[in-house]
Structure 1
Amino acid sequence: MGERTSGAVMGRSESLLFLTDDQLRRGIEAMFFAYRGFTADPDRILQEYGYGRAHHRAIHFINRSPGTTVNNLLSILGVTKQSLNRVLRTLVEDGLVESRVGVRDKRERHLHLTPKGAALERELSEAQRNRMRAAFRNAGPEAVAGFRAVLEQMMDADMRRHYLDNGEGGDTGT
């Protein structure tokens, strides 16, 4: 907006700089309850398979970047190799993920969803898209832009760069 910022916008921005502890606590609680709602539908679906949220995150990011390496997935998820291997082993054994040896580097494993894995990913993401679509529609366009800006500012700097460099959460690299 530059120097043409209106007084109303400036006043609103300045008031946000001085949020009280109670307002911040309410925001934190809202995040907890929103996350609970956001994960409720996928959790019910995952429970049918005996899976948890770690499985969902792995499926999501493998879908976002077919052929991603295990090391890249480790970096994105921020989990230990042991915990990711446990999740991947289950997904591979259950026929949802395929692990292929790298063409250039035989030590690398490239991950792909199978048709069965892609179907589960669609079911999980559709549940979350429906919830987000309804929330965004009810909150309005200004709230959507503000929500995204707040989320981006809450990310660690390196993850924010990764997110923004890859099409605002698009490609997660391979």
Structure 2
Amino acid sequence: MQNQPGQIPTGGENLLFLTDDQLRRGIEAMFFAYRAFTSDPDLILSELDYGRAHHRALHFINRDPGLTVTALLDVLGVTKQSLNRVLRALLDDGLVESRVGRRDRRERQLFLTEQGIALERRLSETQRARMRAAYRAAGPHAVAGFRQVLEAMMDRDTLRQYKALKDLQEPT
């Protein structure tokens, strides 16, 4: 029997007192879900000799055109050396363009080229389709709960970053 929205789960799971086994199953579900979530983009990326770091850079540059290298470093939480390697490949392959900052000429602002936009769209379409199907199958209450769980797992700084990004796209 399926639970109605707002009901306590009937699968023997008391949400206030989860056992180590229930927590382990949740961790394993996240591992397998992440593997599925990244599998389609990974195939596309491997054709281009790119990895997930390239995908994340493309995603966030697309989300916020003109993002500075410093801001991208902060969002991705990687070292300068690691990001430089990724950005160099994306710049050399004509997917990303770097421009002098408008306010501060020492800053470098990043933009996707038409090719970069097309690749980012191709990568994200597979993930949006997977998320859309999962959200529809789970329903709105489960989606809200899922987001709440994900946000609760973030440390304070990460949650602040996420909420700042989330606000970027909200209508005014």
**TM-score, normalised to structure 2's length?**
0.89
In 2, the alpha carbon distance for the partners of 1:166 and 1:115 equals 23
Q: Is the 8 A contact 1:163 1:169 kept in 2?
A: no
After TM superposition, the structure 1 = structure 2 runs for residues 23-42 of structure 1, keeping only pairs within 5 Å, are 23-42=22-41
> 5+ residue gaps in structure 2?
1-5
SS at match of 1:167: helix
Q: Is the 8 A contact 1:74 1:81 kept in 2?
A: yes
Do the aligned partners of residues 104 and 64 (structure 1) sit closer, same or farther apart at CA in structure 2, a change above 3 Å counting?
A: same
TM-fit CA distance, 1:103: 2.5
- Structure-1 residue corresponding to 2:3: none
- Structure-1 residue corresponding to 2:54: 55
In 2, the alpha carbon distance for the partners of 1:167 and 1:50 equals 30
**TM-score, normalised to structure 1's length?**
0.88
- Structure-1 residue corresponding to 2:80: 81
SS at match of 1:15: coil
Q: Is the 8 A contact 1:98 1:114 kept in 2?
A: yes
Higher helix share: 1
Of 145-154 and 162-171, deviating more is: 162-171
SS at match of 2:166: coil
After TM superposition, the structure 1 = structure 2 runs for residues 93-172 of structure 1, keeping only pairs within 5 Å, are 93-167=92-166, 170=169
Q: Is the 8 A contact 1:41 1:128 kept in 2?
A: yes
> 5+ residue gaps in structure 1?
1-6
Do the aligned partners of residues 105 and 65 (structure 1) sit closer, same or farther apart at CA in structure 2, a change above 3 Å counting?
A: same
Alignment root-mean-square deviation, CA: 2.1
* Higher-RCO chain (CA-CA 8 Å, sequence separation at least 6): 1
In 1, the alpha carbon distance for the partners of 2:169 and 2:103 equals 25
Count of aligned pairs between the two proteins: 163
